[in-house]
């Protein structure tokens, strides 16, 4: 069937005239019909090609999905290995992840971290060798370089490695500190070592810095006491204040500082009165000693860790009023022959009735064995507020 081109009536294909309008139908209607049928058959090829393309695209998509899944699995394994510090295994897994998905950015970053981590571990191994050879600065440089190389990374795998580097650095610093202490450093070097030790957050370092601080306190106390005994009050103050920078909680230095301040004030404002008191002090002390104002409990000659001679003693106040600026005068003997006289102040600076005080002095200039030294306390002097 087809349509009449004149009136639009349906006519059969084998009719030459329209049954309605009676007009002769065009002869080319058969050609158009054949062309129409041929045109419809030509759609088979593009449809088949399109179907093939869609099928291929689907298969390729499934393949890509499979590759992506495999890449994620390798990435997860690599991440687990990296967290556990198994960088060789982590690198192999992450490399496989990138082979399955070259555009896997996270895997690429993780692989870069693993390579950096392996280099950091190599630095730590070399630092350990440098430490054995006492090449402390070279070892610290390697640790710092390793830590710097990790600054662009973060995450669960990075933190344990950073902690490991920090622990290694603290160990190197501690060994360096112990080595330098073994070299018998002077007071200035000790002060520098104290700051280094304070920067190491370990219990062992805290013990060492405590010992260094004690040595600084003893040195400061001895030198300041020498200046005080020579009436060099300003110099004594400067020495004590410098020592307090390194041991601000040292009761011994705080007490000496108070004593220096009082002695300086008294000397500057009442020099004449002090001279008169000094003249009569022998008689006053004799009377007070007769009344047992101060009782010497003990006095000993010892050696410290450096083999220096240390004088230690204890006194007790049996007075009925507070006494202050207690000064102990003593002499040292070897084979009954006196070779040194010295004075040392008791701390705390003020003793109330029934209280005890201590005195201690380190003789840095005495090169004798403490066991061969005898001590004799000549007298004890003090002041009262009345």
Q: Find where tokens 């301040």 sit.
A: 261
Pull the structure tokens for residue 119. 């280099």
Q: What is the pLDDT of residues 147-172, one digit of tens each?
A: 888 888 877 888 888 899 999 999 99
259, 290 Cβ separation under 8 angstroms: no
Strands (E), the chain: 2-3, 10-11, 294-303, 309-317, 323-334, 337-345, 350-351, 356-363, 374-384
Task: Characterize the bridge pairing of strands 374-384 and 309-317.
Answer: unpaired
Q: How much of the chain exceeds pLDDT 70, in percent?
A: 73
Answer whether 0.95 is exceeded by the pTM.
Answer: no
Q: What is the pLDDT of residues 219-277, one digit of tens each?
A: 999 999 999 998 899 999 999 999 999 999 999 999 999 999 988 888 888 776 656 66
For position 105, what pLDDT does the model report?
73
Q: At residue 2, does pLDDT exceed 70?
A: no
Beta-carbon contacts of 272 under 8 Å, excluding residues fewer than 6 positions away, are: none
Between CA 27 and CA 34 the distance in angstroms is: 13
Domains of the chain: 2-42 (no CATH), 68-183 (no CATH), 293-384 (2.60.40.10)
How far from 320 is each of 323, 384, 386, CA to CA, in Å?
A: 9, 11, 12
Q: At residue 61, does pLDDT exceed 60?
A: no
Q: Which of 208 and 87 is assigned the larger pLDDT?
A: 208
For position 284, what pLDDT does the model report?
63
């Amino acid at each position: 069937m087809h349509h009449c081109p004149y009136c639009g009536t349906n006519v059969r294909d084998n009719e030459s005239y329209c049954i309605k309008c009676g007009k002769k139908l065009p002869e080319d209607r058969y050609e158009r019909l054949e062309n129409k049928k041929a045109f419809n058959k030509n759609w088979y090829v593009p449809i088949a090609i399109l179907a093939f393309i869609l099928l291929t695209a689907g298969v390729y998509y499934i393949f890509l999905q499979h590759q992506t899944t495999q890449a994620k699995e390798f990435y997860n394994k690599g991440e687990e290995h990296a967290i556990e510090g198994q960088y060789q295994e982590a690198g192999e897994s992450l490399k496989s992840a990138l082979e399955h998905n070259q555009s896997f950015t996270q895997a690429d970053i993780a692989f870069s971290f693993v390579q950096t981590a392996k280099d950091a571990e190599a630095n730590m191994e070399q630092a350990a060798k440098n430490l054995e050879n006492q090449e402390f600065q070279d070892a610290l440089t390697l640790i710092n370089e390793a830590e710097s190389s990790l600054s662009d990374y973060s995450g669960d795998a990075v933190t344990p490695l950073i902690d490991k580097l920090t622990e290694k650095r603290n160990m190197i610093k501690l060994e360096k500190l112990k080595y330098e202490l073994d070299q018998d450093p002077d007071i200035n070097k000790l002060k520098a070592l104290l700051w280094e030790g304070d920067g190491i957050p370990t219990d062992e370092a805290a013990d060492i810095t405590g010992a260094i601080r004690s040595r600084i306190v003893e040195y400061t106390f001895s030198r300041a006491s020498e200046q005080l005994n020579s009436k060099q009050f300003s110099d004594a103050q400067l020495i004590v204040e410098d020592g307090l920078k390194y041991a601000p909680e040292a009761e011994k230095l705080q007490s000496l500082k108070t004593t220096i301040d009082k002695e300086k004030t008294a000397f500057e404002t009442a020099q004449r009165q002090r001279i008169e008191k000094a003249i009569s002090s022998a008689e006053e002390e004799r009377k007070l000693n007769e009344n047992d104002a101060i009782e010497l409990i003990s006095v000993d000659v010892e050696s410290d860790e450096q083999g220096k001679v240390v004088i230690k003693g204890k006194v007790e106040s049996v007075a009925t009023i507070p006494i202050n600026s207690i000064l102990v005068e003593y002499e040292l003997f070897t084979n009954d022959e006196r070779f040194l006289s010295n004075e040392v102040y008791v701390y705390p600076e003020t003793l109330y009735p029934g209280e005890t005080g201590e005195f201690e002095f380190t003789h840095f200039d005495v090169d004798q064995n403490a066991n061969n030294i005898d001590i004799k306390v000549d007298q004890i002097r003090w002041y009262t507020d009345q």
